[in-house]
Amino acid sequence: MGTYHSSEGVWEAMGDRTRRAIVERLAAQPCSVRELADVLPVSRPAVSQHLKVLKETGLVTDETVGTRRIYRLNPAGVQALRDQLDTFWSRAIASYEAAVADDPTREQP
């Protein structure tokens, strides 16, 4: 497994279907590894490894409650991901608008 500390690492980490499922589940409510493993088609050790990656990216945090570790989405990490998406879409829309404006075959109003 590679390092996931860069912004590209967040996208690489989110490219995994199981990690996306974990993020979706944690968006609904904080969960333990066992609770996640009970609803996913992977083992508890596999869930733990996926959570480790998500924690390295800053998308997930954990806290110890009794003998369990409870995982939840990290609002700051999710906001950073959202900011990256907003930047991407803003640039894509601006590029599209510029291309349309420069299109010589486009009918003028």
Residue 7 in this model has a pLDDT that exceeds 80: no
The residues spanned by each domain of the chain are: 7-101
Region 10-36: mean pLDDT is 95
Q: Tokens for 77?
A: 């990490």
DSSP assignment letter at 15 = T
Residues 41-89 have pLDDT tens digits of: 999 999 999 999 999 999 999 999 999 999 999 999 999 888 888 998 9
Q: What is the pTM of this model?
A: 0.78
Q: How confident is the model at residue 6 (pLDDT cuts 50, 70, 90)?
A: low
Is there a contact between 50 and 18 (Cβ–Cβ < 8 Å)? yes
Residue 103 binned pLDDT confidence (cut-offs 50, 70, 90): confident
| pLDDT number for residue 102 | 84
Give Cβ neighbours of residue 90 (< 8 Å, ≥ 6 apart). Answer: none
pLDDT of residue 3: 45
CATH architecture of 7-101: Orthogonal Bundle (1.10)
Q: Which residues pair with 63 in a beta bridge?
A: 70
Task: Return the percentage of the chain with pLDDT > 70, whole number.
Answer: 90
